[in-house]
Amino acid sequence: MKSMIKELLKLREEKDAAGGLDKQKKRNDEGRMTARQRIEYLFDPGTFVELQGFIVHRSSTFGLEKKKFFGDGVITGFGKVHDKTVYIFSQDFTVLGGSLGEMHAKKIVNVQDLALKAGAPLVGINDSGGARIQEGISSLAGYGDIFYRNTIASGVIPQISVIMGPCAGGAVYSPGITDFVFQVAKTAHLFVTGPEVIKAVNKEEVTFDDLGGSDMHSSISGVTHFVGSDERNTLDMVKELLSYIPSSNVESPPFEETNDPYDRMEDKLNEIVPTNPNKPYEMKELITLIVDNGKFFEVHKNYAQNLVVGFSRMGGRTVGIVANNPAVLAGTLDVHASIKGARFIRFCDAFNIPLISLVDVPGYLPGRDQEELGIIKHGAKLLYAYSEATVPKLTVTTRKSYGGAHIVMSSKYLGADVVFAWPTAEIAVMGPQGAINVIFRKDISEAEQPETLRERLIQDYKDKFANPKLPAALGYIDDIIMPTETRPLLIRALESLEHKSMKNPPKKHGNIPL
């Protein structure tokens, strides 16, 4: 027995050395963690259990038979984060560049299947040169198996991709399907075709950063939801995200008792909306004033900043917040904001997270480029996501709520459960200037003093529409509330809807506009 244990310990040592201690040291010297160190950092101490650690590939093409390593370039298993089970795979760049062959894929598929059966989140740490070229079709088949499971598990368990090195070629489509993508600044890159191919095909010189760096993906393509300053910071954010969300679609999100009084009235809210309706203010400031202890975990921070989305807690309950931000593009909805909002709303709905919408929106962003980019279908996406969502939906209109954007932003017509408006709310088909120019153009042009008439008509319009009295009289909003009361009222509304149960008609699946 003693000799067997000795042998096992030796095998374990070999397994843990993966591509070699020298390669592991090199990675640490470069400021990167090894695949195993990343797992240890993410999980509660001592909770990681490795699976299939002794797998090796069975390929012999292009000399691969001489390059066999226990684990085949990916560490898989499960452990606990905040005491809750999480499944993981972590690609090991020290083994054949973390490239994905048949057995490497088989290990990832194994944890995908287990996570789905167990109803637990799956975290994938990507650090790989992509399909293992020597294995040919087996590598491609492996990716196919992974993408298929990513898709089937979507909306059942949370799936999180963490990009900590290269993620190239078709490999990007696993992160592309998962719910959230985290990327380390500077050292992680995702792209379908690399600089060499682009140079050969397009005769264009581009850098890794241009093509797939965190600045590009977090602010332009929107592929990346979170950017970490380094690997530890990135994994800290993954842990933070996991603290807000449930393990699967049949669980409620975790409840976290708070010392922030449920009935806290916040006087600063009375001052936050400027008297001049065209003056911007920062919606994130408003959010931090109403949520538990001012803590807001923003998703997609750098992308489409005219719409703010993220997780928070109110009275201890996780909520998903969707808010127009008048500080950017006057809070208008554009193509990117619509895509961002729809994706977030659908995550919250799939995972039983109530939605709170804070509305200050002058309309959809006008422009030829927006029409060309497909504002019709992308704007419809947001409408569709709100309509389809069956989780509790609460809305607070703080100021403008005009036109189509009024309907889209979680209105009663789309099934919002409780809708409040501040006294500063303006709800109408369009803003006063535009409206008067349309309906009284002839009268104004024929008037002796056109400007005086225009001013009077605008004032009339404002008196009628630039306040929430009419929508309140018609029951389109439930109450006009004092800004200071926003937190206590939202928490009470959330409590009242705790057992909301609603199902849309059975169907194979809908056909969201893409």
By annotation, the residues acting in catalysis are 169-170, 404-405
Is residue 59 close enough to count as binding ligand HXC by CB under 6 A?
no
C-beta closer to ligand HXC: residue 28 or 452? 28
CB of 166 to ligand HXC, least distance (A): 4
CB of 18 to ligand HXC, least distance (A): 12
Give the Cβ contact number of residue 182 at 10 Å.
26
Interactions with ligand HXC, residue window 63-92 (CB under 6 A): none
Size of the site for ligand HXC (CB under 6 A): 17
Determine which residue in the list 79, 121, 130, 432 makes contact with ligand HXC, applying CB under 6 A.
Answer: 130
Q: What residues contact residue 241 under an 8 Å CB cut-off, 6+ apart?
A: 160, 180, 226, 297, 311
Piece of 125-133, 263-271, 478-486, 496-504 that binds ligand HXC (CB under 6 A):
125-133
CB of 246 to ligand HXC, least distance (A): 31
The residues pairing with 319 across neighbouring beta strands, listed in sequence order, are 312
Residue type, 183: Q
CB of 144 to ligand HXC, least distance (A): 7
CB of 179 to ligand HXC, least distance (A): 20
C-beta closer to ligand HXC: residue 61 or 459? 61
Q: Report residue 8 CA to chain centroid gap.
A: 43
Write out the DSSP string of 263-295.
Answer: T---TTHHHHS-SSTTS---HHHHHHHHSGGG-
Is residue 108 close enough to count as binding ligand HXC by CB under 6 A?
no
| 3 state SS of 212 | helix
C-beta closer to ligand HXC: residue 96 or 408? 96
Give the Cβ contact number of residue 6 at 10 Å.
10
**Angle at the Cα of 455 from the Cα atoms of 452 and 458, rounded to 5 degrees:** 150
Is residue 131 close enough to count as binding ligand HXC by CB under 6 A?
yes
Determine which residue in the list 79, 121, 124, 129 makes contact with ligand HXC, applying CB under 6 A.
Answer: 129
φ, ψ for residue 489, nearest 5 deg: -70, -40
Interactions with ligand HXC, residue window 159-188 (CB under 6 A): 166, 168-171
Q: Minimal CA–CA distance to 511: which of 377, 374, 347, 352?
A: 377
C-beta closer to ligand HXC: residue 26 or 441? 26
Determine which residue in the list 87, 143, 364, 386 makes contact with ligand HXC, applying CB under 6 A.
Answer: 143
Q: What's the distance, Cα to Cα, between the start and end of the chain in Å?
A: 61
User: What separation in angstroms does the CA of 409 have from each of 357, 398, 416?
Assistant: 7, 12, 9
C-beta closer to ligand HXC: residue 132 or 381? 132
Interactions with ligand HXC, residue window 418-447 (CB under 6 A): none
Determine which residue in the list 17, 140, 206, 407 makes contact with ligand HXC, applying CB under 6 A.
Answer: 140
**Spatial contact of 291 and 317, defined as CB atoms under 8 Å apart:** no
Give the Cβ contact number of residue 246 at 10 Å.
20
Interactions with ligand HXC, residue window 453-482 (CB under 6 A): none
What's the token pair of residue 472?
Answer: 């309140």
CB of 220 to ligand HXC, least distance (A): 21
Q: What burial class does residue 202 get, using C-beta atoms within 10 Å of its C-beta: 0-12 exposed, 13-18 middle, 19+ buried?
A: exposed
- List interacting residues with ligand HXC (CB under 6 A): 96-97, 99, 129-134, 140, 143, 166, 168-171, 194
